[in-house]
Structure 1
Amino acid sequence: MSTNPPTFKKPKKPNYISTTNACKLCTPLGACLAFKGIEGAVPYLHGSQGCATYMRRYIISHYNEPIDIASSSLSEKHAVYGGGPNLKLGLTNVAAKYRPQLIGIATTCLTETIGDDVKMYLHQYAEDTKGSVGLPTFVNVSTPSYSGTHMEGFHAAIREVVTQLSEGGPRNDVVNLLPGFVSSADYRLLAETMTDFGLGCTLLPDLSETMDGPALLEYEKIQGGGTPIAAIKAMGQSQATIEFGPTLAATGGTVLAEKFSVPYHRIGMPVGIRETDAFFSLLETISGRPTPEKYAKQRGRLVDAYVDGHKYIFGKRAILYGEEDLLVGMCSFLAEIGVQPVLCASGGTSGKLKAAIAAATGDTLLEQPQVFEGMDFFEISEMAEQLDLDLVVGHSKGYPLAKKLNIPLIRVGFPIHDRVGGQRILHLGYAGAQHLFDLVANAMIEKKQDDSPVGYFYM
């Protein structure tokens, strides 16, 4: 079979810049979610009230959990004279009403455009409130939406949290784990895995409880859970840092390596057997322990499932879209189960996506997929119509495309707006691969049943 890529091209760019239904979300939204994974934290947007309302609505529809995002609520007047007074007043109000341990301040397009110096405002605020009791810790991050994606905002917030809070000192036996933006169920799985290897772990962020908590008799203004601030401060003393994300640039992990000489290991998201094997091999090296038997059994059951379901999915052709690092992991997973990724598209523009996918899939694909960055769904849809496809893999924004093509949509990542349980989708580890494999295989079986003139009910 030819190893040449599929013969189609990205639509020619017009002589103007326009985005139709972007394949990304705004930068401060990602920062808000990163801050929400810290214990006792309240995300705070320095900008207009509409930004906070939009982001709250978007996040709630995925997690089905309440989330408060404070705002400095700037108006036209502040766009002219600056938003410093509103920022300071808002911080005082949030500190009084919520009693947070930390307020994470992210900028928006408005305040970035007018040039508000948030660091200077916070310095002034510290001087004005010197001697006050009960004020929280403040962390600020620059997140203009016009120059990035929600993933860039997420990682920028984590980088600033580490930069502004972490401290050095004598080495301890804790491992820092920076997994990026995954589901609440994935965070729980990672915490359990580190414990099973006997490793103390600082998981940053940790959305396992803050965005997927139990039902309570009384409403909590700040949900329990999240990474303790004391643990964040001690990250510069850890024995190692593990970070998921082959397309990342400067991150919290690189800050810890450069500032405190913490040994740094960057690997791909452990989606599927190949990438999970790499993760577990690293944990064996750091812990000095073999992989616990329960994971060996999970891997064995997964291999057995691959064999059982191979006939239903081998040779199927998929289009993938979404966050770059999750795309890399999903491509690796699909390649090892016999599905051919034909087109991989992201709104991100790291410049590393194509090489990362090639490295993650190795020699498991007969032909490498076409990979495009800076895409929107209008372009993705135009390209998809040229292809012979069997399934779409990505979040809920791809549902109109899947419906138009009359093929299944495998929902992964964020946001999942049209199904319950987006926060509980497992992507990582052998257990996550088992869940994803069953989703893909059953979607193919259901499609065959639906298309059959007589139907069948026995595999």
Structure 2
Amino acid sequence: MTKTANFTSTTNACKLCKPLGASLAFRGVEGCVPFLHGSQGCATYMRRYIISHFNEPIDIASSSLGEKHAIYGGAANLKLGLKNVTAKYAPQIIGVATTCLTETIGDNVPMILDAYQAEFGGEDAPQVVHVSTPSYTGTHMEGFHAATTALVDQLTRPAVKHDAINLLSGFISTADIRYLQEVCQDFELKTTILPDYSASLDGQALNDYPLIPEGGTPLAAIRTMGGARATIELGATLPDHSAGTLLEQRYQTRLHRTALPIGIRATDAFVELLVTLSGNPVAERYSSARGRLIDAMVDGHKYISGKRAVVFGEEDLVVGLTSFLAEIGIRPVLCASGGHSGKFEQGVNAALEGIDCGLPLVREDVDFFDIEQLAQELEVDLVVGHSKGYAFARRMDIPLIRVGFPIHDRVGGQRILHLGYHGAQLLFDTITNALIAKKQGDSAVGYSYM
């Protein structure tokens, strides 16, 4: 009998759970309390991950189901939990996401919420938005997109046409959201960004702990998104059914999809779209930033040209970073993600079109065991991704450039700017200096001008 190698289904997943992504999206709505219909442990786990990255407190309510509820259902706990959250927090909205437990036992959440609204609803009652997010069928990115779509689906109303645009940013850093706010202001575009957790998950130091932090997309703005003259949806691997397509189908709001503006080419495309929508020229601060970035790329080319990189993380972020790395002369040899949109390889190949660097291995639905096994065969010089890749980067003795989510072993992970010419400049300097430091560290004598 031939002996085959043992197979481990997942070893250190390159993804996080679906309701975690939904909780982040709900946190980006003004006056919203995220609520998980499931066991208490789910909420605790997600709070731990979110707090370690953003270094901000976040309350995630739970229906706290136990063994009994796995048999008899969680309707009573869900109703009681919503009553308690309403009494304690006085929220404008509660975002209810399901977990593996409640999906497995088959709780009919829409029906339970209808009964709750009939029993306890009223003019002063908070709006309740629900989304199905079982982790065994997806990733945190799928939960994020599902929650954003649910917000648009359940909150928007027919609205008089107005001059604002909708910007569906995807899962980006708080600094990236602030960049999008600033660039839209500079183009004189009134914009509704959904979700907006730039303040609610990256706020100021306060003497008193607010139960619901300030910030987030206003409910009134969400309700009128159907009246906007256009929607911009950022991402290269977006689902076919999304908040953007829903707005287009339901309200005929024109949809523009473009990749995350990471690097020169993708940022050029995003800026050209803003020029078209606004009718305004590019401000000097952006054209000069672009010029400085190109100058820096020329200056640093000798340090990074021909280096080989592994890129991992959320699919849209990996696509953007892959394009950027190729632009600066680094060859992406492996692009990996725990997501499984089915659009990942197509997005990577499109991002590299016209750049002479060869096509990388593209692997979706992989874990870090898979990534490390592949990386060991590819003569890699650096790894680009979040903190969960630290262990294998350390074992391989190569630099890890921390981007994306989660970053829990450095300060400021939530404030990394990835987008625009300014973001590309910061990434370029970080990557180049890491490779210089690696060369110095590996040298027997080091090198300097002294």
Bin of the TM-score, shorter chain as denominator length: over 0.9
Match of 1:18 among 6, 9, 32: 9
8 Å Cα contact 1:340/1:365 also seen in 2: no
Within 5 A, what are the aligned runs for 1:8-157? 18-131=9-122, 134-157=124-147
Report Cα offsets for 1:319-368 as digits up to 9, x if no partner.
01110000000000000000000001100111111111111111213310
Report Cα offsets for 1:52-89 as digits up to 9, x if no partner.
00000010000000000000000000010000000000
1:319 is the counterpart of 2:323 = no
Taking the aligned partners of 1:414 and 1:365, their CA distance within structure 2 comes to 30
Amino acid at match of 2:86: A
Equivalent residue, structure 2, for 1:10: none
Amino acid at match of 2:96: I
Amino acid at match of 1:427: H
Deviation at 1:15? 8.7
Within 5 A, what are the aligned runs for 1:272-287? 272-287=263-278
Amino acid at match of 2:201: M
Equivalent residue, structure 2, for 1:239: 229
Report Cα offsets for 1:371-410 as digits up to 9, x if no partner.
0111000111111111201000000000011101111000
Amino acid at match of 2:48: R
Equivalent residue, structure 2, for 1:373: 364
Equivalent residue, structure 1, for 2:197: 207
Taking the aligned partners of 1:280 and 1:62, their CA distance within structure 2 comes to 29
Match of 2:292 among 283, 295, 301: 301
8 Å Cα contact 2:26/2:32 also seen in 1: yes
Equivalent residue, structure 2, for 1:349: 340
Deviation at 1:275? 0.2
- Which aligned segments of 4 or more residues in structure 1 are displaced greater than 3 angstroms? 13-17
Within 5 A, what are the aligned runs for 1:167-206? 167-206=157-196
Deviation at 1:17? 6.9
Amino acid at match of 2:64: S
8 Å Cα contact 2:141/2:314 also seen in 1: yes
Amino acid at match of 1:304: D
Taking the aligned partners of 1:239 and 1:435, their CA distance within structure 2 comes to 33
Match of 2:220 among 219, 224, 230: 230
Deviation at 1:170? 2.2
8 Å Cα contact 1:45/1:70 also seen in 2: yes
Equivalent residue, structure 2, for 1:164: 154
8 Å Cα contact 1:47/1:71 also seen in 2: yes
Q: Helix, strand or coil: the match of 1:134? A: coil
Moved more, 448-457 or 433-442: 448-457
Amino acid at match of 1:19: T
Equivalent residue, structure 2, for 1:6: none
Equivalent residue, structure 2, for 1:220: 210
Report Cα offsets for 1:208-263 as digits up to 9, x if no partner.
10000000111101110000000000100001000111111111001000110000
8 Å Cα contact 2:235/2:257 also seen in 1: yes
Match of 2:414 among 407, 423, 426: 423
CA shift in 2, pair 1:458/1:237, >3 Å: farther
Equivalent residue, structure 2, for 1:266: 257
Q: Helix, strand or coil: the match of 2:147? A: helix
Amino acid at match of 2:132: S
Taking the aligned partners of 1:372 and 1:14, their CA distance within structure 2 comes to 21
Taking the aligned partners of 1:365 and 1:102, their CA distance within structure 2 comes to 50
8 Å Cα contact 1:170/1:237 also seen in 2: yes
Amino acid at match of 2:277: I
Taking the aligned partners of 1:290 and 1:99, their CA distance within structure 2 comes to 44
The unaligned stretches of length 5 or more in structure 1 are 1-12
8 Å Cα contact 2:326/2:357 also seen in 1: no
Taking the aligned partners of 2:361 and 2:103, their CA distance within structure 1 comes to 35
Taking the aligned partners of 1:282 and 1:197, their CA distance within structure 2 comes to 11
CA shift in 2, pair 1:164/1:17, >3 Å: farther
1:391 is the counterpart of 2:391 = no
Q: Helix, strand or coil: the match of 1:319? A: strand
CA shift in 2, pair 1:260/1:15, >3 Å: farther
Q: Calculate percent identity across the aligned residue pairs.
A: 63
Taking the aligned partners of 2:185 and 2:91, their CA distance within structure 1 comes to 28
Taking the aligned partners of 2:314 and 2:355, their CA distance within structure 1 comes to 22
Taking the aligned partners of 2:113 and 2:423, their CA distance within structure 1 comes to 42
Taking the aligned partners of 2:449 and 2:221, their CA distance within structure 1 comes to 53
Equivalent residue, structure 2, for 1:3: none
Deviation at 1:457? 2.5
Amino acid at match of 2:138: G
Taking the aligned partners of 1:153 and 1:168, their CA distance within structure 2 comes to 26
Taking the aligned partners of 2:356 and 2:325, their CA distance within structure 1 comes to 10
Taking the aligned partners of 1:434 and 1:130, their CA distance within structure 2 comes to 51
Report Cα offsets for 1:281-305 as digits up to 9, x if no partner.
0000000111111111111111111
Equivalent residue, structure 2, for 1:444: 435
CA shift in 2, pair 1:139/1:14, >3 Å: farther
CA shift in 2, pair 1:458/1:120, >3 Å: farther
Amino acid at match of 2:263: G
Report Cα offsets for 1:151-210 as digits up to 9, x if no partner.
000000000000001122221110100110000000001001000000000000001100
Match of 2:242 among 248, 251, 263: 251
